[in-house]
Chains A and B, each alone.
Chain A
Amino acid sequence: MSTVKLTVNGKSVSATVEDRTLLVHLLRENLNLTGTHVGCDTSQCGACIVHIDGKAVKSCTTLVGQIDGANVTTIEGIAKGDQLHPMQAAFRDNHGLQCGYCTPGMIMSAIDIVNRHASDLDEETVRHELEGNICRCTGYHNIVKSVLDAAGRMKVAQAAE
């Protein structure tokens, strides 16, 4: 057992857990943040993606000890109260989800993609960069549309701040 200290969605968290604990399990089982999903459990599907110090990584392939001290953001931490994050709003408006299982991971990846590419984001780049996230419902079409739409909204939101 070891004690790890993290900041999760802006709140300080300290947990004493077995060393083999994966971040996704800490989030879901200890912190009750069940928006982050376990899909394939083999680092292929991206349903478990969260941000660690601003970078989208697979929480099913991260031991909590590896990120002791880090700042973690999950799908629960991106809206501002009742106001959805622009990426969440774009997914809703563009029908970017069906069953919703992959959606938290898609959104966390997509925010990272927009952050990295800023203004030069095109459809090909979105399709290429979403390759670590698997969706079995939508055929990706509306997901790609959502990400491109959100890229515009995030720019507007940033300019307004």
Chain B
Amino acid sequence: MYETTYHRPASIDEAAALFAKHPDAKYLAGGHTLIPVMKQRLAAPSDVIDLARIKDMIGIEATADALIIKAATTYYDITQSAAAKKAIPAIVHLTSVLGDPAVRYRGTIGGSIANNDPAADYPAAVLALNATIKTNKREIKGDDFFQGLFSTALEDNEIITSVSFPIPAKAGYAKMRHPASRFALTAVFVAQSKSGEVRVAATGASQSGVMRVPAIEAALKANWSAGALDGVNISADGLMGDIHGSAEYRANLIKVMAQRAVEAAS
């Protein structure tokens, strides 16, 4: 790791002010992506600004319509939250199959979403539920947030402060985990909103990161059942192919994971 200067601001405003002073800084949350990348010398921020202990950025609350998770809340705290379990059990399930127990103690929802790894879990939930990402400057809809591999609508100095997930009528998540990295080889989040809209998002599959799957959305809109997807064919165009699985394999996984997600949905 190259040399860096560590800062721990007490508030969101103080963090943003530090960033303004140090244009080559990076925000740090749980550190379970940024620190490995810094160790590999693929990132060399002059300064790291730690958001993980800012009290205003930690906590979970549920209203009648939304589950609001503040950005520096750890995966572990999400898995333990009775409010989250009651509001959107699929989010808690997604969190419980993310990383491993030691990673879940440190990793944060805001960090995962800001990083937008093409095989990360939360982007699928954000897109399928069309969550609202709240930052220190504005609100961004899930539809507008993800902009391809590791890139988002966030400006360099912008901080995600919370994520608001609309509570759906039903939602489910199914993941084929890569057994070594625990990232998604392909995973699918299915959601039916209270107004009947069906949205389906796949992660780990596309070369451009998290994506919606219109063919599955249409089939589930007509008939919300795993069987309704038997005849659906997903094109392998634009999907990732690597030593772990071909694009065709991932195309089939999208369908199979969607079926399992529908079966698991509640």
The smallest C-beta distance from B80 to any residue of chain A, in angstroms, reads: 10
Report, as a range, how many residues of chain A touch the other chain: 20 to 34
Residues in A neighbouring B8, C-beta threshold 8 A: 65-66, 68
Using an 8 Å CB-CB cutoff, how does the interface string of A45-76 with B read, 1 for contact, 0 for none?
01001000001111001110110100000000
Q: How far is the CA of A89 from the CA of B252 in the complex (A)?
A: 47
* A18 lies within 8 A of chain B by Cβ: yes
Which residues, 110 to 161 on A, are CB-close (under 8 Å) to B?
Answer: 112-113, 129, 131-133
Are B102 and A109 touching (Cβ within 8 A)? yes
A43 neighbours in B (Cβ, 8 Å):
32, 35-36, 103
Query: For A133, what are the chain B residues with a Cβ–Cβ distance below 8 Å?
Result: 100
Question: Given A19-B6, A20-B2, A66-B50, A55 and B105 touching (CB < 8 A)?
Answer: yes
The reply to whether B182 and A131 contact each other, CB–CB distance below 8 Å, is yes
Q: Which of B27-71 contact A (CB under 8 A)?
A: 28, 31-32, 35-36, 38-39, 48, 50, 52
Is B181 an interface residue when CB atoms closer than 8 A count as contact?
A: yes
Q: State whether A61 touches B100 (Cβ < 8 A).
A: no
A-B contact count (CB 8 A): 76
Q: Is B166 close to A, CB under 8 A?
A: no
**Given A132-B100, A132-B101, 13 more contacts at CB 8 Å?**
A18-B3, A20-B4, A43-B32, A44-B181, A49-B102, A56-B102, A57-B106, A61-B32, A62-B31, A63-B48, A65-B6, A68-B8, A129-B101
Given A42-B36, A63-B48, A131-B182, the answer on whether A112 and B101 have CB atoms closer than 8 Å is yes
| Least distance between A76 CB and chain B CB atoms (Å) | 19
Chain B residues, CB < 8 A from A112:
101
The distance from the CB of B42 to the nearest CB of chain A, in whole angstroms, is: 12
Pair A58/B5 contact, Cβ less than 8 Å: no
Total chain B interface residues with beta-carbon distance under 8 A:
28
Most interface-central of A2, A43, A46, A56 (chain B CB within 10 A): A43
The 4 residue pairs across chains A and B that have the minimum distance between CB atoms: A132-B100, A65-B6, A19-B6, A55-B105
20 contacts between A and B (CB under 8 A): A18-B3, A19-B48, A42-B39, A43-B36, A46-B100, A61-B35, A62-B31, A62-B35, A65-B6, A65-B50, A66-B6, A66-B31, A66-B52, A112-B101, A129-B100, A129-B101, A131-B182, A132-B101, A132-B102, A133-B100
In the complex, the chain A residue whose C-beta lies closest to that of B7 is A65
Asked if B99 is an interface residue, CB under 8 A from chain A, the answer is: yes
Contact B52 A56 (CB under 8 A): no
